[in-house]
Copies of this chain bind each other. A is one copy, B any other.
Amino acid sequence: MKCRKCGGGAAVELRRHNAAFCSPHFIDFFRKQVAEAIRKHRMFTRDETIMVAVSGGKDSLALWDVLIEDGYRTTGLYLDLGIFEYSVESREKCEAFAARRGQPLLVERVADAVGASIPEVQKVTRRPTCSACGLSKRYLMNKVALEHGYPVVATGHNLDDEAATLFGSVLHWQMDALPRQSPALESTHPQLVRRVKPLYRLSELETAAYAFLRRIDYIVEECPFAKGATSLGHKDLLNRLEEASPGAKHNFLFGFLDKARPAFERQEALGLRACASCGQVTTSEICAFCKLADQVRRRAPAEGTESARP
Contact = CB atoms under 8 A, between A and B. Distances in A.
B173 A260 contact: yes
Interface majority SS on A: helix, strand, loop or mixed? helix
Contacts of A139: none
Interface string A248-280: 100110011011100110000000000000000
Interface string A113-153: 00000000000000000000000000000000000000000
Interface stretch (A184-192, A219-227, A233-241): A233-241
A64 to B, nearest CB: 32
How many copies of this kind of chain does the complex include? 2
A308 interface: no
A155 B170 CA distance: 26
Contacts of A260: 173, 175, 178, 264
Contacts of A233: 244
B251 A171 contact: yes
Interface size of A as a range: 20 to 34
Contacts of A248: 171
A173 B259 contact: yes
Contact of A252 (B171, B178, B263): B171
A234 to B, nearest CB: 9
A17 interface: no
Contacts of A244: 233
Contacts of A100: none
A240 B248 CA distance: 18
A260 B263 CA distance: 9
A46 interface: no
A40 interface: no
A298 interface: no
A172 B241 CA distance: 12
15 contacts: A170-B170, A170-B252, A172-B251, A172-B255, A173-B252, A173-B255, A173-B256, A173-B259, A175-B260, A178-B260, A237-B237, A237-B240, A237-B241, A260-B264, A263-B264
4 closest Cβ contacts across the A-B interface? A173-B255, A263-B263, A173-B260, A173-B259
